[in-house]
Structure formats: C-alpha cells, structure tokens
Amino acid sequence: MIRRTYAQIASMIAGTAVSASYGDITVAGVSKDTRTIEPGNLYIPLVGDRFDGHDFVLDAFGKGASASLWQRGREGAPEGVPLIYVDDTLAALQRLAKTYAEELKIRVVGITGSNGKTTTKDMAAAVLGTSYRVHKTIGNYNNHIGLPLTMLQFSEETEAAVLEMGMSGRGEIRFLSELAQPEAAIVTNIGESHLLQLGSREEIARAKTEILHGLAPGGLFVHNGDEPLIPQAVAEMEPLLPFRSVRFGLAPENDYFPTGIAASGDGTEFKVNAIPGVTFYIPLLGRHNVVNALAVIALAQSWGIPAERIADGLRTMKLTSMRIEAVKAASGLTILNDAYNASPTSMRAAIALLHELEGYGRKYAVLGDMLELGPREAEFHREIGTLLDPGKIEAVYVFGTLAKHMAEEAAKTFGADRVKWFEDKNELTKALAAQAAPDDVVLVKGSRGMKLEQVVFGLQGG
C-alpha cells in the first residue's frame, strides 16, 4: 500500500497542508470508512447524497488515522490535527492513485466486458504471477471509487497490476482507463448487462471499448473476435493512439482459438492453435471459460511468458467465489454454484455447460431472475426457457417473478410436472433436496440480487 509522508501526499494531490509541522508524519494506506480504518491511514471523507464523511473525521483520528483530507467550503474543520485541504475529496483520491501508480511504473492490464471479466482477471493474475509480482482488483472494487482504492493498495514491490473495470453508463470505462493507463486492455465480450441503462448492445459495445482511451501508446488490445460489434464500435471512435490488436474466440478466424476442448474432472482441458503441442487445463467448467483463458494466453505471450508458465498459472489459479464453483453437498450431490450474477449471455453459457456435462446421474437447473435488462426483460427470460433441453435436464426449478417466464416456456417442452416455480427459496431447496441423488448435478444460476447462494448452502447441508 501507499507509504508517503504527509507533505508528499499534499504535494501529490495539489492540496494545502494545514501546517508544515506535520510534514514528516508517515501515511500508510488510505481508508474511506472509519469502521475499517487502520492506524496510519489517510482518511478520505467522501460526500454522498445521504452521508458526509467529514462528520467522522475526528472519529478517524481517534482510531489511528495519521492524516485526513478536508473539502474546502465545509464548515467545522477540526483544529490541531493534520488535515489536507482539497477542492473535492473524491477527485483528490483519484489524483493520488494516478500519481502513485505513475511513480511506481507498474505494468497495468485493464479488463472489462459484459461477462467473464472477474474470471479473466483471476486467470490473468495467476498467469502473470508466474513471472511478476502481481496485484489484482479485490472483490468489486472496479468503479470510480474502488479502482483508485485498489491502486493505492499497490506495494513498492508490485510489478504488474490486473485491474477490473466496471460500469453502468457511458464515459465510466473511459474515466477508469485514463486513470489507470493500462498497457494492455482486454474486452471479454459484449452481452446484455446494462441494457436497462444503455438501451442496446451496440451502445454497450461503445461503452466497453472506451477502455482504449487510456491505453498506452503501442499498447495491446485483446478482444473477442467472435463479436462484430467490437470492431464496429472502435471504428466509430475518435482518433486513438496507435495500438496493437489481437483477437480471441471460438471461430478459427481468430488469432487464438481452441483446437480441442474436453471436460476433465472439475475442470477443462484444451489446446490452442497458436501454441501447438501444449495442453492447457483450467479448474473451471465450460467452453466460455476456455474463451476467457484464450484472452489471457494472448496477453501472456505478448509479454514473453513461456507456454509452460502460462499453463502452470492457469492450472493453479484461484477463482473468485460463486462463479461456476463446483461444490459437494454432504450427500455427495454436485452443485455448480454460479449465483454471483446473471445475464442472457452468461445464462446461455451456463445452460450449455449443463447440457454438455457427462458422468452424472440426473441433471437439474435452478434458475433465478436476470435483472436490469430493460423493457425486453420478459422476452429474454422466455428465450432462456426455450434453450433448456428436456432430453438432457431432468427438471427445472425456478425462483423469481421474471424467471416465471422461463418456467412457462420450459414447460412447453418439459411438461408442467418437470418445471416447478417457487416464491420461497426454502421451499425450492426442500423440494429439490428430496429429489436429487448423490450422483446427480445441480446448476444454480441467477442475478446477485436473487441470493441463490442460499439454495446452494441449503443443498450442501443436505
């Protein structure tokens, strides 16, 4: 984490030190929350619609903060403590992060996309970690507040950073990319997430490709070549600094594509056209995760990492939880926990995985609402219902108001007795636990707001 003196911090953010006598005080790390503040932290009093961090500045000092920002124009600044006056505390946080990262000269990878960016981040950190000291985005610290906080967690020894960039509207990815200034940018795909805010997949593609605005001159753009909206969006953009482009995907027209994919235990083996003779393994199921791995392989090769190290990194990667995580229930039942999020794109990928799985008794799908899809939300849910194959899935258990559309469509091919809709997750869990056998497999998939991990936990205890 950042470690600078009070005077250095004030200089880095063009702030006004309340007194030169505090100049040599050491600042170690930053915090925007007095509930988690640690001794030595710089406290950042952010201001929101319903809160004002300035109300807690004295509390921050009481818990060990070594200094605090204070926004000019705010009344009641405490005396006798090391404050730094700034015009805007959030802008100061962002400026501090950018300046600090520039001082460290870290190789930065920026990752965005509608689906798969967190998994791709985990893969990239694991692979780059075979050759560099790597820092990666933790949790969902991927927005205009979380990203600078992540950057300020870099240590002096950090050599590479893998930063996830999220958004809900236009301009946000551009801001994050210009803040982090990546030398490599990955766009995993263009899906339907944020249709409610942006209105079309074309507009989503324009928002995601904003990552190119911060790309370093001569940097690498790694993008899904199966998605024609990406080059279309890039062609519409204002003139950019020169960059290199590499395409990955399932189609053989891409620079990187798989030449063989096979499920292997709780993971997947595959080969890549660009690296003949090497078999890769990821501890993840599904061809969509192979596609994510292709992006990382392309990145790693461009950085000169040998194929053997790339394979080692992918094989030993640590996955962020609740992204198609295979877990075992006490009974022996296999549960594919994909309860972190859901969109039509990721839902289709999860169902395709369930269809392809072999070696189990019966296969069950537990599906919940896909949120924030805009005026076509009912249509998207009905489409998912039509994709479920009664020849490959024993029964479908559905939870949520929107997901009821899935159930209605699925019942047309499954029959009403094999598709069950629930208003209560506990009732769903009990009904499924009574049917599922130890050698069966259950996919659990839904948007974060549906909290379907509660079904996973309930089944595990069975």
Q: Over the stretch 362-413, which tens digit does the pLDDT of each residue have?
A: 999 999 999 989 899 999 999 999 999 999 999 999 999 999 999 999 999 9
51 in any annotated domain: yes
Q: Provide the pLDDT for residue 144.
A: 96
Q: Are residues 66 and 129 in the same domain?
A: no
- From 33, 54, 88, the end of a domain falls on 88
Average the pLDDT over 143-169 and give the result: 95
**pLDDT category of residue 361 using cuts at 50, 70 and 90:** very high
Q: E strands, 39-106, where? A: 42-43, 67-71, 83-86
pLDDT at residue 447 greater than cutoff 70: yes
Q: Are residues 60 and 152 in the same domain?
A: no
Q: Provide the pLDDT for residue 107.
A: 97
Q: Provide the pLDDT for residue 462.
A: 53
| Assigned token pair, 457 | 């936990």
Question: Which residues have a Cβ under 8 Å from the Cβ of 273 and sit 6 or more positions away?
Answer: 252, 256, 257, 258, 259
**pLDDT category of residue 138 using cuts at 50, 70 and 90:** confident
CA dist 180 and 190 (Å) reads 22
pLDDT at residue 321 greater than cutoff 70: no
Q: Write out the residue range of the structural domain in which residue 394 sits.
A: 325-461
pLDDT in tens, 79-106: 999 999 999 999 999 999 999 999 999 9
Determine contact, residues 5/25, Cβ cutoff 8 Å: yes
Name which of 274, 280, 332, 276 is nearest 298 in CA terms: 274
Q: Are residues 380 and 410 in the same domain?
A: yes
183-187, 302-306, 343-347: range with lowest mean pLDDT:
343-347
End-to-end CA distance of the chain: 43
Name which of 99, 98, 109 is nearest 211 in CA terms: 109
93 in any annotated domain: no
Q: Are residues 132 and 228 in the same domain?
A: yes
3-state SS of 93-114 is HHHHHHHHHHHHCCEEEEEECC
Q: Provide the pLDDT for residue 133.
A: 97
Q: Are residues 398 and 428 in the same domain?
A: yes
pTM of the predicted protein model:
0.82
427 in any annotated domain: yes
Determine contact, residues 459/333, Cβ cutoff 8 Å: yes
pLDDT at residue 235 greater than cutoff 80: yes
Residue with tokens 């309340």: 18
pLDDT at residue 327 greater than cutoff 90: no
Q: Are residues 281 and 221 in the same domain?
A: yes
- From 315, 334, 349, the end of a domain falls on 315
389 in any annotated domain: yes
CA dist 415 and 408 (Å) reads 10
Q: What percent of the chain has pLDDT over 70?
A: 99
Q: What percent of the chain has pLDDT over 90?
A: 84
The full DSSP string for 189-253 is ---STTHHHH-SHHHHHHHHGGGGGGPPTTEEEEEETT-THHHHHHHHSPP---EEEEEESSSTT
CA angle 11, 17, 18 (to 5 degrees): 175
Determine contact, residues 220/141, Cβ cutoff 8 Å: no
CA angle 337, 162, 117 (to 5 degrees): 35
Average the pLDDT over 181-192 and give the result: 95
Q: Are residues 366 and 255 in the same domain?
A: no
| Assigned token pair, 221 | 């753009």
Q: Are residues 244 and 343 in the same domain?
A: no
Average the pLDDT over 277-284 and give the result: 94
Q: Are residues 40 and 115 in the same domain?
A: no
**pLDDT category of residue 2 using cuts at 50, 70 and 90:** very high
Q: Are residues 332 and 246 in the same domain?
A: no
453 in any annotated domain: yes
**pLDDT category of residue 358 using cuts at 50, 70 and 90:** confident
Average the pLDDT over 109-132 and give the result: 95
Domain total in the chain: 3
pLDDT at residue 319 greater than cutoff 80: no
Determine contact, residues 108/180, Cβ cutoff 8 Å: yes
Q: Are residues 26 and 76 in the same domain?
A: yes
What does the mean pLDDT of the chain come to? 94
97 in any annotated domain: no
Q: Are residues 345 and 215 in the same domain?
A: no
CA dist 10 and 85 (Å) reads 8
The CATH number covering residue 43 comes to: 3.40.1390.10
Q: Provide the pLDDT for residue 323.
A: 61
